Structure 1
Amino acid sequence: MEHKDYYKILDVEKTSDTESIKNAYRKLARKYHPDVNPNDPDAQRRYQEINEAHQVLTDPDARAKYDRLQAAHQAFAAHNSGEDFDWTPWISGVETKPGSKVNIDDVIKEIEERGTGGFSPFFEAIFGGMGVSKTAPNKGPDYNQQVEISLEEAFTGTSRILRVGGKRLEVRIPRGAQNGTKVRVRNEGGPGTGGGPRGDLYLEILVTPHPSFERNGDDLHLDLPVNVYTAVLGGEVIVPILKGKIKLRIPPETQSGRVFRLRNQGMPNLRNPEQRGDLYAKVMITVPENLTEEEIELFEELADIRGL
């Protein structure tokens, strides 16, 4: 009978704690789950091995027995003189007379005749009589999917239509979502094992760059063009916001680079959408082009007055 290295199957160290083993199981289960790999017998086989290893290594008694068996098997392999490994002390639920050995081929044949339920003869022979649940309820693997939205959609909230396992889902994306925000859709991940619940579907939000606004948390930043006349004399300019436009009073002699803070004109807060960030408008003075001769003369006159 083939010895199975459950630690190698889950790619964990022998010293790994239970939580690390569960994390490794969830990661591999997502990768090899039959829903993700339809009609792939190799993935199906790997998924069964992963599930089996998880069942043993998360059960304290089964893991302790397995560790003892693995140590004995490794010691035997290091000094093997051509004999077969004696599985007798390790077979579960089989009584033998002192000094006698079980016929492992007979044990495997019996197991295969009654069915293994998707588990290997190794598991059935060693752990089948220990009460290790082969149908212990385990939550299915979570699925992750990236979804792109615009900054305007992040401002107002939006939704996306998805098809998961042949089912049409409308998923609401909340106001204030930003890069990395995860939207959880319960019970729309992979199926569980042993009657366990399905995993969850997580949508990871990616907000596409905006041509005018730069986002920093809940605040927005904007380069605001202001003509030289308004910058010198003062006046009103129109400031674009994500839902329309507002007027901003520019005081006389405003310098390029000055930043105006427009309170509550930024993004909604994800946790409290009624609370909003601010909009910071940075003045960028624009110089007139295609001047007439008269305009050039006036600017020259102004330069003389200023002693330039």
Structure 2
Amino acid sequence: MPAARDFYEILGLQRNASQEDIQRAYRKLARANHPDVNKAPEAEDRFKDISEAYSVLSDPKTRRRYDAFGPDFRQVPEDVDPETWARAGAGRAGAGRGGRGSGWPGQGPSGFGEGVDIDDLLEGLFSGRSGGAGRAGPGWGPIPGADQEAELELSVEDAYRGGRKSLTVGGRRIEVRIPAGVTDGRRIRLAGQGGRGGDGAPPGDLYLIVRIAPHPRYRVEGRDIHIRLPITPWEGALGAAVAVETPGGETKVKVPPGTSSGRRLRLRGRGMPSPREGPGDLFAEIQIMVPPRPTDEERQLFEQLAAVSEFDPRRR
């Protein structure tokens, strides 16, 4: 059976990598090896390896157990002390295999166990815990699956409307219901969609972290939506009712007379919806635009305005 690959090696990281380093490495590798993007025969298997490595290293608790116990971390009971584990493994390895090193039991150059019988080690450490059974490993019972995390990227429109969306996580196709008005950073829990349990134990949960993608028109802050609203000079001077495109559809905003660029108009309740907290607001920032190539008639009218107007925006 081939030796387990180092999850840090899979993501191209050092063992002291920060959580931000892990996330950046995962996003880069996942995009490059996603089966929908990379059609190479080995891409799907590599994508699964990358997803598994990220699911383990992105969870601080799971990462600590992996650092302590190596590829056997899922089989080691929760209350096992890492130092006791290492000492017992080193003693048994020295007695039975010619005194091979210390650290993880059977530790090789890569830092992972090689040819270690985990049941033997558990028997030596916990011979009395399994009710007199000859081997301690099975006596620990089923081991629940680990919780996992993945990012779910949504457009502003999809986050606003909600609905159902299909995505691939760890090589599996998953259907998820997105609540209307979901915000950036929100965690969506999918019960039983995480790592598989051992010996019939239930699987863990999958947590999807919502990331709202940049948008050419909208900027989302919490539940508020910000847009730029271009208007003509005469609409700003005289006032007007202007159509505004929002994620929920077109609406009208009243531009007061004498409105200049930079003024923000607030549309209450037109931001991201929320049944519990109430919807956010939409803020339209005025941007006065002039004709880039005025016609002869437009130029004459602007010249007439310039001749009769005493307004000087640079004079206070």
Q: Structure 2 length as normaliser, TM-score? A: 0.60
Number of the residue aligned with 1:127: 126
Number of the residue aligned with 2:108: none
Number of the residue aligned with 1:4: none
CA RMSD of aligned residues (A): 3.7
- Give the CA deviation at 1:255: 1.3
Query: Which structure is larger by alpha-carbon Rg, 1 or 2?
Result: 1
Residues 25 and 51, structure 1, Cα contact 8 Å, conserved in 2:
no
**Do the aligned partners of residues 301 and 160 (structure 1) sit closer, same or farther apart at CA in structure 2, a change above 3 Å counting?**
closer
**Do the aligned partners of residues 229 and 196 (structure 1) sit closer, same or farther apart at CA in structure 2, a change above 3 Å counting?**
same
User: Which structure 1 segments of 5+ residues have no match?
Assistant: 1-10, 12-22, 32-44, 78-83, 85-117
Seq. identity, %: 34
Residues 25 and 54, structure 1, Cα contact 8 Å, conserved in 2:
no
- Give the CA deviation at 1:190: 1.6
Number of the residue aligned with 2:197: 192
Show the 5 A alignment for 1:217-228.
217-228=222-233
Question: How many residue pairs end up in the alignment?
Answer: 225
1:138 aligns with 2:143: yes
Residues 158 and 174, structure 1, Cα contact 8 Å, conserved in 2:
yes
Number of the residue aligned with 1:110: none
**Do the aligned partners of residues 196 and 30 (structure 1) sit closer, same or farther apart at CA in structure 2, a change above 3 Å counting?**
farther
1:276 aligns with 2:300: no
Number of the residue aligned with 1:290: 293
**Do the aligned partners of residues 57 and 287 (structure 1) sit closer, same or farther apart at CA in structure 2, a change above 3 Å counting?**
same
Q: Secondary structure at the match of 1:247?
A: strand
Number of the residue aligned with 2:304: 301
- Which one has more relative contact order, counting CA pairs under 8 Å at least 6 apart? 1
- Give the CA deviation at 1:30: 7.8
Number of the residue aligned with 1:237: 242
Number of the residue aligned with 2:41: none
- Give the CA deviation at 1:54: 4.1
Number of the residue aligned with 2:75: 51
Number of the residue aligned with 2:62: 26
Provide the rounded CA distance (Å) in 1 between the counterparts of 2:256 and 2:170: 60
1:207 aligns with 2:212: yes
Q: Deviations over 1:31-56 (max 9, x none)?
A: 9xxxxxxxxxxxxx943366336453
Provide the rounded CA distance (Å) in 1 between the counterparts of 2:166 and 2:66: 23
Q: Secondary structure at the match of 1:52?
A: coil
**Do the aligned partners of residues 25 and 207 (structure 1) sit closer, same or farther apart at CA in structure 2, a change above 3 Å counting?**
closer
Q: Deviations over 1:138-168 (max 9, x none)?
A: 3211122222211111011022224678875
- Give the CA deviation at 1:230: 1.1
1:157 aligns with 2:162: yes
Q: Structure 1 length as normaliser, TM-score? A: 0.61
Provide the rounded CA distance (Å) in 2 between the counterparts of 1:24 and 1:231: 54
Provide the rounded CA distance (Å) in 2 between the counterparts of 1:229 and 1:163: 51
**Do the aligned partners of residues 194 and 24 (structure 1) sit closer, same or farther apart at CA in structure 2, a change above 3 Å counting?**
farther
- Give the CA deviation at 1:297: 3.1
Provide the rounded CA distance (Å) in 1 between the counterparts of 2:168 and 2:309: 69
Provide the rounded CA distance (Å) in 2 between the counterparts of 1:145 and 1:282: 35
Provide the rounded CA distance (Å) in 2 between the counterparts of 1:165 and 1:291: 57
**Do the aligned partners of residues 260 and 136 (structure 1) sit closer, same or farther apart at CA in structure 2, a change above 3 Å counting?**
same
